[in-house]
C-alpha cells in the first residue's frame, strides 16, 4: 500500500470510530479524536450554536472554522459540502439556501454518511442528500454547484491539487467556495507529523500556508481572499504525548506556526482574449 493509500485508510478508520461516538465524547477529546484532558477540548473548532440551521446532533466538534458563515449562500443555491461528516455544515447551508435550493454532502466514511442521513431524516429535509465518495474524485457532475464549502478536511487529502481541481470541475462558472482548513507557517516536529491522532486532528497533514494558497491558484481559481485566520495552540497536555519536556519548551518558544484559515475563491469565466487578460 502506498503512502497516500495508507493515510486515507488511517483517516477513514479514525473517523469511523468518531462517527460511532456522540458529540460530548468528541468534545472532550483532542480535536475530536484521541484521549486528552477535558481542559483542551475544542482547540480547533469554532462554535456553531449562534448560526441559524445549527443542529447539535450533527455537530461532532471536528471543524476548525465556520465556512458556511462566510460562504455567501443565496436562496435557491446548490451547495456542496466536502467531508460532510454528520451533516453539520449541510444543515446550516440548507437554512441559507432554503427549500428551493439543494445541499449535497460528500464523505468517504460510510459510518459518517449513515449518521448524516439519519440526522437529515429526523429533520425531514428532502433537499439535503449525502453521498459516499472521495474528494479526489467527487461523485458529482461538472458544473452543478453554486457554492462549495468544507471544514478542516481538504488538508487530509493526499493530492490537494487534484482535490481543488475537482472543486473547480463541479462548480458552475461564477460559482465560488469558502473552505476552512489548517495550514502551517513553520515546521512541525517529526513526531507530531507522523502521529495518527494528529492526522485525524488535521495537524500532522497540514502544509505550508503559501503552498496551500498556491495550489488553489494552480487549480484555476481567481479572486482568492482570506476571510479569517486564527492561531491554533496545542496545549502541553497534548504535546507531552509526542515530545519531551525540553522539546515542548523549544516548540512553545517559537511563534505560532499552526493556523486555521477560511479561504474564498471563485471559478470565473474563462479568458477569451487580450481584453480580459
- pLDDT tens-place string over residues 8-48: 776 667 667 766 765 555 544 434 444 443 332 345 667 78
**Residue 96, C-alpha cell as written in the block:** 441559507
Examine residue 196 and state whether it is found in any structural domain, yes or no.
Answer: yes
Let me know: does 64 contact 182? Beta carbons within 8 Å: yes
User: What pTM does this model have?
Assistant: 0.86
**Residue 180, C-alpha cell as written in the block:** 476552512
Examine residue 181 and state whether it is found in any structural domain, yes or no.
Answer: yes
User: Among 17-21, 182-186, 192-196, 252-256, where is mean pLDDT lowest?
Assistant: 192-196
User: Average pLDDT for residues 58-84, to the nearest whole number?
Assistant: 93
**Residue 35, C-alpha cell as written in the block:** 484521549
The CATH number covering residue 98 comes to 3.40.50.150
Local structure of residue 205 (DSSP, 8 states): T
Examine residue 209 and state whether it is found in any structural domain, yes or no.
Answer: yes
Confidence band for 75, pLDDT divided at 50, 70 and 90: very high
Distance CA 144, CA 157 (A): 22
Examine residue 71 and state whether it is found in any structural domain, yes or no.
Answer: yes
Per-residue pLDDT, 143? 98
Let me know: does 150 contact 174? Beta carbons within 8 Å: no
Number of domains in the chain: 1
Strands, DSSP E only, in the chain? Answer: 78-82, 102-107, 128-132, 145-151, 171-184, 207-208, 222-231, 258-266
Element (H, E) at 56: none
Amino acid at each position: 500500500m502506498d503512502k497516500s493509500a495508507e493515510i486515507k485508510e488511517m483517516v477513514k478508520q479514525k473517523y469511523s470510530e468518531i462517527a460511532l461516538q456522540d458529540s460530548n465524547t468528541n468534545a472532550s477529546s483532542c480535536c475530536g479524536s484521541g484521549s486528552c484532558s477535558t481542559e483542551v477540548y475544542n482547540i480547533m473548532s469554532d462554535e456553531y450554536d449562534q448560526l441559524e440551521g445549527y443542529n447539535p446532533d450533527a455537530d461532532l466538534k471536528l471543524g476548525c472554522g465556520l465556512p458556511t458563515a462566510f460562504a455567501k449562500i443565496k436562496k435557491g443555491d446548490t451547495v456542496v459540502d466536502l467531508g460532510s461528516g454528520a451533516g453539520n455544515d449541510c444543515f446550516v447551508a440548507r437554512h441559507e439556501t432554503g427549500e428551493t435550493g439543494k445541499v449535497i454532502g460528500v464523505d468517504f466514511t460510510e459510518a459518517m454518511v449513515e449518521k448524516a442521513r439519519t440526522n437529515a431524516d429526523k429533520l425531514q429535509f428532502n433537499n439535503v442528500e449525502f453521498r459516499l465518495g472521495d474528494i479526489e474524485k467527487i461523485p458529482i457532475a461538472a458544473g452543478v454547484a453554486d457554492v462549495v464549502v468544507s471544514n478542516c478536511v481538504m488538508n487530509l487529502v493526499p493530492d490537494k491539487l487534484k482535490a481543488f481541481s475537482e472543486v473547480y470541475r463541479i462548480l458552475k462558472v461564477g460559482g465560488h467556495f469558502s473552505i476552512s482548513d489548517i495550514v502551517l507557517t513553520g515546521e512541525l516536529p517529526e513526531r507530531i507529523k507522523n502521529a495518527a491522532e494528529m492526522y485525524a486532528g488535521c495537524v500532522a497533514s497540514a502544509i505550508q500556508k503559501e503552498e496551500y494558497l498556491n495550489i488553489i491558484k494552480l487549480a484555476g481559481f481567481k479572486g482568492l481572499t482570506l476571510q479569517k485566520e486564527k492561531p491554533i495552540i496545542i496545549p502541553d497536555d497534548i504535546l507531552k504525548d509526542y515530545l519531551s519536556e525540553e522539546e515542548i519548551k523549544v516548540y512553545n518558544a517559537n511563534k505560532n506556526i499552526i493556523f486555521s484559515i477560511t479561504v474564498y475563491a471563485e471559478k470565473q469565466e474563462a479568458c477569451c482574449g487580450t481584453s480580459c487578460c
